[in-house]
Structure 1
Amino acid sequence: ASQPAMLGRSLSALRCANARALSSAALPEKPPIALFGIAGRYASAIYSAAAKKGELAKVDADLKAFSDAMANPAVASFVTNPGIPRGEKAKTLMEMMEKMGACGTTKNAMATLAEGGRTTDMKKVLELFNELMVAAKGEVTAYVTTAKDLDAAGKKEIEASMAELIAPGQTVNVVYKTDLGLISGHTIEMGDKFIDFSMATQLKKLSSLLGVNSQQ
């Protein structure tokens, strides 16, 4: 079977995902948080375009379905491969969007990414758009990286400390990751905030301080 056909089949099972999501009418028209970088600008532009047309809920469902599809290595490889001509990739993505029953805003977003040669950033764009939607619903996603897996008590302590970092009425969705390079401690990334409580960073600061003092 051709690659487009194979990719299309991997998406067909996800059509029902388009039925989920809340009404766009309940969401803010402007991106609720500031995002930076190329992927951030694309995600914000997609949000604004969808809000303007009242299609936020549909675009959210479309992109969630597409994100699920990209868990398939064949789909991810095709989408992120910079060696595939832009026109060919745009055409195939449009066929995939048709099979998904995607709305016009989603199709335009995919075409823009493909024709602009930015599909290598697709995963990040999808991730950041999801962050915008989470924030629009009064939720905030926090990425907590620890040197080792935490038990329930450790997670509860960290999550309690986040209360002062969010606005009244917001809730936090915490995503935990591990990085042995931290040695001990943890880092928290939440929107444009980054807090570093890791031992690795403390040792670097101490080493730098000792180096400066030894030169005086």
Structure 2
Amino acid sequence: MSETAGISTGIAKRYATAVFDLAKEGKGIKSLESDVAALDAAMGESADLRTLFTSPLYSREEQSAAITAVATKMELSETTRNTLSLLAAKRRLFVMPHLIAVLQDMLAEERGEVTAEVTTAKKLTKAQADKLASTLKAQVGKSVTIKETVDESIIGGLIVKVGSRMIDTSIASKLNALQNTMKEVG
């Protein structure tokens, strides 16, 4: 992890903990969950929003005004709007991708779920995803949400990350292992 990413993650964890605790105290977990989903979707769809969060060219005032307008338009909860305003005032909007990821993890933990990051060579069918989720649920003892990424370079198989555990059954890794073994022999 790069130093900048580590700093961003540290800042994001502190803010996420505070927001999560406020939402929990105010019985606003459901609204926080919908706000996080809406912000995640908006960041994925809007390059302008990502630029607003990361560009140092915008002043505090411009960021504050823009983020207030965005939060109002998106009808975000008061807690989320206040958090975004605070991030803008402190010039910390750049941590938004990390903040959203940390909040998603905290919300999943609150629901008793765990997220499995699954990399496949081609998109899983609904039946395959359900079977994988039930197999992982049996292994980890919690409900599993699958976050799938398609990467054709793994050729076939799966790479599954659940928490700190990783299972790599991809053909690409098997070919690399075979290549390394052959180098050792010859």
Q: TM-score, normalised on structure 1?
A: 0.64
The change in CA–CA distance for 1:211 and 1:48 in structure 2 (over 3 A counts) is farther
Matched, 1:194 2:159: no
Question: For residues 156 and 79 of structure 2, what CA distance do their matches in structure 1 show?
Answer: 45
What CA distance in whole angstroms lies between the structure 1 residues aligned with 2:176 and 2:18? Answer: 38
Q: Corresponding residue for 2:30?
A: 57
1:75 corresponds to 2:52: no
**Secondary structure of 1:140's aligned partner:** strand
Q: Deviations over 1:34-62 (max 9, x none)?
A: xx934751433422332244332232233
List structure 1 runs of 4+ shifted beyond 6 angstroms: none
Relative distance call for 1:178 and 1:48 in structure 2 (3 A) is same
Q: Greater shift after overlay, 183-192 or 95-104?
A: 95-104
Name which of 124, 131, 134 aligns with 2:105: 131
Q: Label 1:153 to 1:99 Cα distance change in 2 as closer, same or farther (>3 A).
A: closer
- How many residue pairs are counted as aligned between the two chains? 177
Distance 1:110 1:142, change over 3 A: same
Give secondary structure in 1 for the equivalent of 2:160. Answer: strand
TM superposition shift of 1:196:
1.7
Q: Distance in 2 between matches of 1:39 and 1:145?
A: 28
The answer for the alignment partner of 2:136 in structure 1 is 162
Calculate the aligned-residue CA RMSD, in Å.
3.1
Structure 1 residue 179, shift from structure 2 partner: 0.5
> Which position in structure 1 is the counterpart of 2:155?
183
Q: State the 1:89 CA deviation.
A: 0.8
Tell me if structure 2 keeps the 8 A contact 1:39–1:128. Answer: no
Residue 162 of structure 1: how far off its partner (Å): 0.9
- Of 97, 115, 118, which aligns to 1:141? 115
**Match of 1:198, as an amino acid?**
S
User: d(CA) in 2 for partners of 1:112 and 1:212?
Assistant: 57
Change (3 A) 1:112 1:178: same
Matched residue, 1:8: none
Report the Cα distance in structure 2 between the residues aligned to 1:156 and 1:62, rounded to whole angstroms. 27
- Provide, for residues 169-208 of structure 1, a one-character-per-residue CA deviation record: whole Å limited to 9, x for no partner: x322223221012122111123333322222223334444
Quick check: 2:108–2:114 contact (8 Å CA) kept in 1?
A: yes
Sort the Cα spacing of 1:196 and 1:65 in 2 relative to 1 into closer, same or farther, 3 A: same
Provide Cα deviations, 1:7-45, integer angstroms capped at 9, x if missing partner. Answer: xxxxxxxxxxxxxxxxxxxxxxxxxxxxx9347514334
Partner Cα separation in structure 2 for residue 210 and residue 39 of structure 1:
46
Establish whether residue 203 from structure 1 lines up as the match of residue 175 from structure 2.
Answer: yes
What residue ranges of structure 2 are gaps of 5+ in the alignment?
1-7
Percentage identity across paired residues of the two chains: 25
